[in-house]
Structures are given as C-alpha cells and as structure tokens.
A and B are shown apart, each in its own frame.
Chain A
Amino acid sequence: MSEADYNLLIVGLPDAGKTSYIHAVDDLLQHPHTPDSLRSHALAPDRSYLERDKADFRSGKKLLHTERNLQGPVPELWFEDPSTGKRGKLFLPDVSGEVFQDQWVDRKWAKSYSDSLQKLSGILLFLRADLPASNQELLGELAALPEVERTAKPFDPRKASAQVQLVDVLQFIAEHSALPTYPLKLCVMISAWDTVYHPGNMQPKIPSSFLAREWPLLDQYLKTNRRKFESRIFGVSALGGTPKELEEHLGELPPQQRVKIVFGDIESKDLTAPLRWLLGV
C-alpha cells in the first residue's frame, strides 16, 4: 500500500488553540473513536516534540506558549484509513502564533516559510470562540466614556483587531506565494467550542453561522475568495472544557473522550474529520 506525505499548515494568532489540537489529534489517532476512524498504524521515529508536553495535555494542565524559533523535527503522525487501507504521514508543524503576528507587524516572512507553502495539502486556521474578533468601537453610548483616567495609548499593531490580522496573514499566503493548487483547502477551526454551550451564551451553535456573526470580516473574505481558498468551518473542543472545568471534574475522563467537534449541526468526537477532508482520504 502506498504511503503519501501530507504537509498541513496550522495558522492562528497566539493562544488560538493550535497546540492543544495537535495533541488531541495525536491521542485520538491512537484511540480511534469508531471502527472507521482514521487511526495510527505506527509511531513516527521521532516524537520528542509531542511527548515533551504530553503529560500536561493529558492531565488538562495549561500548555506552555509555543516558542517562535522551535528547533527539531516537525510533529509527525502516521495514519491509516481502515476502510481503504491507505496510509500516510501527516506533518503538522506547531508554529507559534507569534510567527503569524510578526508577519502582520513586520510585513515580511522567512523565505523558508514561503518555500514550505509550496508543498501544502491544506491549512487549519484557528481562532478562539471565547475571544473577540475585533476591537470595540467608541460608538453610540461608548462614544462618551467618563474622562477620568483614560488616556489614549499609541497604536500597537499587535493590538489590532484579531480578524484583521488573520485576514492579512491569509492575504500574504494568497498574494505572495505560489500555492501548489488553487483553491487551497482550508478548515476554519473555532477552538474552545465548549464555551459556546455555557449557560446564557447566545452565540450561534452552528460553526458557519458563528463565523458569519462573530468574525464577519474573515467570513466575508473566505466567501469572496473561493478561487483561492475552499473552506469548511468546524467548531472544535480539543480540551473538552475550560482549565477550570478540567480541574473540577472533566479531568477524570481520558482526553479522547473529552473532545468534541461540530460541523454544521453534526456533533462527534472524531477530530480527524477536518484532516480527512483536507487530505482527501
């Protein structure tokens, strides 16, 4: 049986849930949820990066912020599709969110990064359900806040609206690199999806509706640039709950049973669903 290499790019600003997802998928491949689920058929030779924080992830501890200049081999997952017997090696570089923010701020990227885009099978774009997409405008009632102790800070590009930064990061990819195929497949991964079910949360429970309402600029960009990016939108809970919930009770469950993924109105635990679509397996 042939074994192909698949390179995915994981995009997202700091704290978007990227590393958590990589760990969750790795665990899920080792504990497939159904007989048809993608599964690990062997461990890659070098798992040093994944194993370093594995214990923390499994115990529900907060993961360390990923460093900018990670050295060493890229996390590599060997998978098999039980229904077809097809096998592959999935490369999931855990890029620090700061790398993408640096691109936005410095208006440049490493040549090695742009070279790597030429081998891409797809993109996983992460954003957090529980963080705001935009800065809050001083409009309406907010236009006249009490004057006490409020002085304007100078503009810092890192404080620009998150959805604006993400759109520019995608524009960089679309405008400044030679992608292997057009359109390139892209999964929007709305992480911390468990938080939308918190009592009193009025946000849409269908990921595509959530994106349209909460991250409209990004949503419009993807809709109007279908020739460049073919997208699907998922709600993902890689940890299963907030750090507090994990500490209180959720931590009792093994990681692969805490997870949740939603596509349209279908809910499951198969976090590999976006990968299946991206890789066409």
Chain B
Amino acid sequence: MKGCKLALCGFGIDGKCIEGRGSACPNLINTLEDTSDEVTDRAALASNGDDVTEIVADNANTGLSETEVLHHGTALEIIDAREVTSRSRAILVSIAGMVESGKTSLLARFHQQFQMGSVGDYEFAGSLSLMRFEELNWRATVESGAHAPSMEHTSRRYDNSCLHVAVSHKDGNQPHIDLLLNDISGDTYPDAISALTVCENLMCTRRADHLAVVVDGGAMVDRTRRHDHASKALNFVNRLLQTGQIGPQTILHLIITKEDELKAAPRDSACHQAVHHLEESFERDFSHRVGGLHKWRVAARPMDGTLPTVDIITRLFSTFVSTTQRYPMPTPLPSSTVYGERDFSRYGLIHGDSE
C-alpha cells in the first residue's frame, strides 16, 4: 500500500494527493501492508487515473474469485480531471468563499435537480462522482432523519479535486459537455489571501473557465462579519488576478448565498446596501479584467420553505455550461506533456500560452 512523505497529504488515508498528482506523485512511498483497510486500497487504486480496470484478489469473499476495481465515485484528482478535459469539451468551475458560506450546498443542488429532471436545456449524461454527490446530499434528505438540512465541512484535501457531471444539450447530436466543479475549502480561502504560495497552489483556478466567489448572505446581515466578508471577496479576486491564475480567460461570478437570510433583514437595512456596494465594486474593479462578470443572489438550501430555488440554480448552471472564454478549443497539445498544472491545462489555457 502507498502513502505520502508529506505530513499534510492524506494519500495514505483516502488516496487523495494534496498536490493533485495522483499515483504518479514522486512523494509517494510504500508503507506497511494493511490489507484490512479495503476502502483505502480501493481509493488509492481508483485514483491512479488508469483507464484499465484493475484486478485484485477478493479477500473479503472466497479468497478465490478475482475482482476488478471500478471508478471510485468521489471527487476527481487533477490527474483524473485531466483525462476528462482531454477527451471532450470540458468546463471547469472553481468555487471559493468563507467557511459555511454555502458553496458545497450549491454544487450538491445541481445533482438534486438532475434527479428531478433536466436542468434548463441540459440533460444529465453521466457522472463519475455520484457517490460523493449522494453523500453530500444525505443530510438534506428526509431519509437521513435530519430535521433540517445541513452540510459537512469541506476539507482542504478537496482543494485540487473536482466533482464531475456530464451533460448534453436537449437539441441532441451535440457532444457531451463535462463539467468539473472544484470546491475550494473555506479554510483555504482566507489563507490564499494571506499567502501567495497558498493561492498559487490552487491549481484548478488556472484552468477554470469560471471562478465563482461565494459571499455568505447570512454573514452580510451580521454587522460584525459583513465588512470582513466583503473585503475578503475583493481581496481574493485581486490575489488571483495578481498571480495570473485568472484573467480575460476567466468568467467571474459573485454569488451572494443564503438569500433567505438576506431577505429576512429589513429592506432599508445596511446589509442590503453593503451587498449592493460589493456588487458595484466587483463591476468597477474587475469587469474589464476578466472575460465576463455575473452577479447572483441565491438560496441553495433555504430554511424558509417559501423561497423558490430551482429557477435561479438552473440559470446559474446553464451559464456555467454554456459560456466560456476558452472555446473554440485550440488543437490539443501532445499527450506526453509533463504532470502538474501545465499538463492539466493541456489546451494551452494558461494565460499567455495561447496558440
């Protein structure tokens, strides 16, 4: 079984490489055998990016029958995501914001909506992350026994991984579009503002067609958090512009979440002005520096039962899938390029690397 030399990396636990290099990472070392931890083995095997299904001895059952490992169903490491971007028209969305701002809830709702039908003009065409989506949504189902929806905190381990869903336009005959959803932990977000190196390690942002900055509407209602949350949103975008991770190739979204909490505040209260002001600042400071700017107010999991959610989430999803500054695609680079962020951006999508 393999583990990682780096103390921070959880590869030995769940097969997720902190640097997003999967099983090709040079930091991997062989650790002591631990055949009891089948899940760990499975994840490690499954994250190696190989197309070929792997064969392992089935020690759980008879000890005789051979089994083959299938796709793991969780978030894709960069190396697996690269496979997706290389095989089809793929759209990558990076989503970032403070802890508990509602990022994962929003992404999880996409999966829920497809379970009810098509989302706008897009039909579900497959997903390599179905298990993860179901896990994320579990605590927002009646069957879980919860009395109100809740969501697990997203670990930093997912910073360089992507949830996957493939869609197809209702018109038919068009190839599938692979959507990769990169959910950056709320723990990382302020650190990326504090430290350039942390920001630069957010590798998916370089390939992102869309960067969605999420601001917690509930925090905007709270005088003690409002100013910090608003400033951090601006700082985060500035940081990414400064490093060249985003730019004219990126479509920027400002998403104010938990609209139910915002709406509950009196209309003339300072929080509405603050939200309005933040939206204006995004327009003023960034609209000319990025490939497009969208502003949204959503409630992905409102506690107020009356607020509709489907229409706005449909429009957001459709905008993600249907707009990009990166297509028509340049000719793909040869597949022998090196691993890492450049390799991931195989369509020459890093700023200044155009054909």
The verdict on B284 contacting chain A, using a C-beta distance below 8 Å, is no
Quick one: CB contact mask for A173-210 with B, threshold 8 Å, 1 for yes? 00110000000000000000000000000000000000
User: Which B residues touch A157, using CB under 8 A?
Assistant: 131, 134-135
Q: Which residue of A lies closest to B66 (CB)?
A: A111
- Indicate if the CB atoms of A136 and B143 lie closer than 8 Å: yes
Q: How far is the CA of A133 from the CA of B115 in the complex (A)?
A: 9
The verdict on B112 contacting chain A, using a C-beta distance below 8 Å, is yes
- Indicate if the CB atoms of B66 and A160 lie closer than 8 Å: no
**Candidates B67, B148, B176, B309; contact of A111 at CB < 8 Å:** B67
User: Which B residues touch A42, using CB under 8 A?
Assistant: none
Q: Which residue of B lies closest to A138 (CB)?
A: B149
Task: Tell me which residues from 106 to 153 in chain B have a Cβ below 8 Å from any Cβ of chain A.
Answer: 112, 114-118, 123-128, 130-131, 133-135, 137-150
The verdict on A265 contacting chain B, using a C-beta distance below 8 Å, is no
Task: Tell me which residues from 113 to 167 in chain A have a Cβ below 8 Å from any Cβ of chain B.
Answer: 114, 133-147, 150-153, 155, 157, 159-161, 163-164, 167
- Indicate if the CB atoms of B58 and A110 lie closer than 8 Å: yes
Q: How far is the CA of A249 from the CA of B131 in the complex (A)?
A: 44
For A, the interface residue count at a CB cutoff of 8 angstroms equals: 51
The verdict on A108 contacting chain B, using a C-beta distance below 8 Å, is yes
The verdict on B55 contacting chain A, using a C-beta distance below 8 Å, is yes
- Indicate if the CB atoms of A107 and B144 lie closer than 8 Å: no
Q: In the complex, what's the smallest C-beta–C-beta distance from B109 to chain A, in angstroms?
A: 9
Q: How far is the CA of A223 from the CA of B123 in the complex (A)?
A: 9
User: Which A residues touch B70, using CB under 8 A?
Assistant: 103, 107-109, 172, 176
For B, the interface residue count at a CB cutoff of 8 angstroms equals: 59
- Indicate if the CB atoms of B146 and A152 lie closer than 8 Å: yes
Q: How far is the CA of A106 from the CA of B70 in the complex (A)?
A: 9
**What are 28 A-to-B residue pairs whose CB atoms are below 8 Å?**
A106-B42, A107-B46, A107-B70, A107-B73, A108-B70, A109-B67, A111-B67, A138-B146, A138-B149, A139-B140, A140-B306, A143-B304, A152-B144, A152-B146, A155-B135, A155-B138, A160-B131, A163-B115, A164-B115, A164-B130, A216-B114, A216-B118, A217-B124, A220-B123, A220-B124, A224-B126, A224-B167, A225-B125
- B residues near A (Cβ < 8 Å) are 38, 42, 46, 53, 55-56, 58, 61, 65-73, 112, 114-118, 123-128, 130-131, 133-135, 137-150, 166-168, 176, 301-306, 309
Contacts A144-B305, A164-B133, A176-B71 aside, 12 further interface pairs with beta carbons under 8 A come to A104-B131, A107-B42, A107-B131, A110-B66, A135-B137, A135-B138, A135-B142, A137-B137, A143-B303, A171-B71, A171-B130, A220-B114
